């Protein structure tokens, strides 16, 4: 397990994990960008509130994508069933 130094909102953090350094830095950059967006919209927001808002936004995005993936997988299964029935 390696460690990578990243900077988020001007604060240095050491992240330990099994992911590559490039991947960890990419994630940190993503989080930093989301936080910067919040600070640009609400400059006086506290860091904790900004982090919670960003977390909620990322969670919403994750759940929306999971729902889309589930819908696509179901659609593929239904189409595969139709195609399979053509050979019966």
Q: Where are the domains of the chain?
A: 2-86
**Prediction pTM value:** 0.79
Banded model confidence at residue 2, pLDDT cuts 50, 70, 90: confident
Q: Are 39 and 53 in contact (CB under 8 A)?
A: no
pLDDT tens readout for residues 11-65? 999 999 999 999 999 999 999 999 999 999 999 999 999 999 999 999 999 999 9
Burial class (CB in 10 A: 0-12, 13-18, 19+), 84: exposed
Q: Residue 31: what pLDDT?
A: 97
């Amino acid at each position: 397990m390696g460690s990578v130094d990243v900077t988020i909102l001007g604060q240095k953090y050491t992240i330990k994990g099994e992911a590559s350094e490039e991947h960890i830095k990419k994630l940190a950059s993503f989080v930093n960008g989301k936080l910067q967006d919040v600070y640009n919209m609400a400059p006086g927001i506290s860091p904790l509130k900004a982090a919670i808002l960003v977390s909620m936004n990322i969670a919403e995005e994750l759940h929306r994508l999971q729902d889309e993936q589930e819908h696509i997988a179901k659609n593929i299964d239904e189409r595969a069933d139709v195609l399979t029935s053509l050979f019966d």
